[in-house]
Structure 1
Amino acid sequence: MADSPELATKALESDAQDDNTAAQTSGIPGDSKPDQGAGSMGEHCVTDRPAPAGQTPTGEVAKYGEVEVYITKPADYPHQPSKLLLLLTGGTGIHSVNNQLQADRYAAEGFLVAMPDQFAGDPAPTSTTTLAADENMSVLEQVKLGMVNVAKSFTIDMWLARHTPEKVLPVLERVIVAVKEEFADAVESGGGVYAVGYCFGAKYVLLLGGEGSQDANAAKTAAAEEEGMVAHGPQIKVGAIAHGTQVTRDDIAGNRVPLTIVAVENDSLFPEDVLESGRQALKEQNVELEVQTYPKVPHGFAVLGDYDDTSIVEAQKEAFQQMLAWLKSH
């Protein structure tokens, strides 16, 4: 999304015209549909579910490449070999307890996890409640609720305008350079950098797995820039993504590393036509791909957090195992 006040204003006007009464619910417990014109970000992309009771993150936040990074390690590291995993979050960012606990789960499975602050200290605006219309609301109450949702959508659009690939990729590239140097043993053990991405972060796993990103070796990049050239090539070895947002067909088609996708049935934020056209492109390129679609779950379900619906909880566990198995098999 271009950094354009005019575009954001049009989005606000569109919201007011399309839905000035109330947010809609999807019929899935704990889910909400994204507001019209919300910049391809839903409630689950910017709001954490309740954290699992009795769990405390075990990692720590440090700076790598002048960027805050949550680092969490296997209990037996460095005495036992580990693999370096880059974890890219949704809009809630690295200080979210749920995201930290999710990183810890990968660490418990033998990965040294680096979870960078993609947003430079500016995580997405959050909402603590799902705003939905009640059939008993008066017309005035519904109009007021609609105005709140329009304002929220406008705020998200403005946030997205501050976090485009042109802004986010250089941040990630600095982190990759720094953590590869700091944890060279883990990079060597895994034969490269592994990556997982949820919601907002899924798009950037795809971009880092493509041929158009800068080489993560600082010396090579500096030399290339001095010569007026930019080195190209995937910066990761393998990728795993869940319910991406703002993902395009070209993002998927440009990926060149083995990839597994956790998809949600009837997901307006990651439509089937985008997924299918990307799938066909990767097939033509002979890129290894696995896709599993989960029915009757909300967008964002694979991000750690409690749900009252046990079927969503089980699907969340299954999605984690899907992504973990893919990483371990590569």
Structure 2
Amino acid sequence: MADSDVATKAPESDVQETPPPASESVFPGDTPAQAGPTMGEHCTTDRPTPAGEAPTGAITKLGGVDVYVAKPTDYPHSPSKLLLLLTGGTGIQSTNNQLQADKYAAEGYVVIMPDQFNNDPAPNSVNMAELPQDASWLDSIKLKTAEGVKAFMIDMWLARHTSENVLPLLHKVVEGAKEEFADAVANGGGIYGVGYCFGAKYILILAGEYPDPAVQGQEAPNDVEAGVVKKEPVLRAGAIAHGTMVTKDDLEAVKSPVFIAAVKDDPMFPEDEVLTPGRRALEANKVEHDIQVFPGVPHGFAVYGDYDDPKIKQNQEQAFEKMLGWIQAH
């Protein structure tokens, strides 16, 4: 296991935000330590798209769910593997997310990027940095009010997209992909997964044994002593970047090999409450894993998009190479 830091520095305007702590989590069962900041600016807003780039995939349906599908140019004439890509709050209509899927497709993967939000992506962000220096007091009040409204809208949005709502959609897509792209699943010996921000949590869930009767489509047992039948991991291997709302329980349940790209001092993926105990659980459970911590970059840096700071762009590319290398090696 590696825990190396990548040298860079925070950009002037893209330094990681620290959202105000939340009073409780939208995920039932989370501890108070896990009920802090949930979604930041980079979870809900795209960076500018690099000039001259356009997606090459298409939106279709799998299992009745909208999905963006990106394929290698020579598929199906050349063998490919199946990759499930789960996005942050910007969803499958985001040009940057589509371009990210295309990057994996160019490496030999049939990429399935599902609309895990059921046509309800996260509300657009409001940024205080956009306020002109000569703005009036009234303008400042209006924008601060808008920020408060945005935070409330995000909380309401998160309440609509809990695991009880998201996981059934993902399972429909997985079953549809197994049928539609059986050749890619067979060629890879299973399904691989990568996830960013919001989607990272669900890659970890799908890489683990998750004893949730609602997810399994089963009724909870009357006898608590009987426990809940655990399902085998959906994913052969997974890689995530700067997860949000990840809990130590998510990491404790992981069974498939995982790579984690984390941001140093990230309030949305806190080291003391989540990353460190999660690492210990992976070690104790003898799960193959690798964790790399990137200092001085904003939460969301690994999502494809343009940055003025070349060092962030370099780290973005490095995170992609690490995530790609991990699934290629497994």
Indicate conservation of the 8 Å contact 2:11/2:309, yes or no.
no
2:237 maps to 238
1:5 maps to none
Indicate conservation of the 8 Å contact 1:85/1:113, yes or no.
yes
Indicate conservation of the 8 Å contact 1:34/1:40, yes or no.
no
1:237 is aligned with what amino acid? R
1:47 to 24, 45, 48: 45
1:124 is aligned with what amino acid? A
Q: CA deviation at 1:148?
A: 1.9
2:287 is aligned with what amino acid? V
Q: CA deviation at 1:265?
A: 1.1
Q: CA deviation at 1:146?
A: 2.6
Q: CA deviation at 1:33?
A: 1.3
Q: CA deviation at 1:28?
A: 4.7
| Deviation sequence 1:5-34 (CA, Å, 0-9, x none) | xxxxxxxxxxxxxxxxxxxxx865324515
2:127 maps to 130
| Deviation sequence 1:141-180 (CA, Å, 0-9, x none) | 5444332211110000000000000100000001000101
1:16 maps to none
TM, length-normalised to structure 2: 0.84
2:109 maps to 111
| Alpha-carbon separation, structure 1, partners of 2:136 and 2:285 | 55
1:298 maps to 298
2:209 is aligned with what amino acid? E
Q: CA deviation at 1:230?
A: 6.0
| Alpha-carbon separation, structure 1, partners of 2:116 and 2:145 | 30
Structure with greater contact order relative to length (CA < 8 Å, sep ≥ 6): 2
| Alpha-carbon separation, structure 2, partners of 1:175 and 1:73 | 16
Indicate conservation of the 8 Å contact 2:71/2:105, yes or no.
yes
2:161 to 160, 163, 183: 163
- Describe how 1:1-330 pairs up with structure 2 within 5 A: 28-37=12-21, 40-127=38-125, 130-132=127-129, 142-212=140-210, 232-273=231-272, 274-330=274-330
Q: CA deviation at 1:69?
A: 0.6
| Deviation sequence 1:249-273 (CA, Å, 0-9, x none) | 1111111110001111111111111
Q: CA deviation at 1:280?
A: 0.3
The answer to which of 230-239 and 285-294 deviates more is 230-239
- 1:237 counterpart SS class: strand
Q: CA deviation at 1:35?
A: 3.3
Indicate conservation of the 8 Å contact 1:131/1:145, yes or no.
yes
TM, length-normalised to structure 1: 0.84
Q: CA deviation at 1:71?
A: 0.7
Percent pairwise identity: 56
Q: CA deviation at 1:233?
A: 1.3
| Alpha-carbon separation, structure 1, partners of 2:261 and 2:50 | 22
Sort the Cα spacing of 1:119 and 1:92 in 2 relative to 1 into closer, same or farther, 3 A. same
Gap regions ≥5 residues in structure 1: 1-25, 216-220
Q: CA deviation at 1:139?
A: 6.1
Indicate conservation of the 8 Å contact 1:56/1:101, yes or no.
yes
- 1:148 counterpart SS class: helix
1:191 is aligned with what amino acid? G
| Alpha-carbon separation, structure 2, partners of 1:214 and 1:171 | 15
- 1:311 counterpart SS class: helix
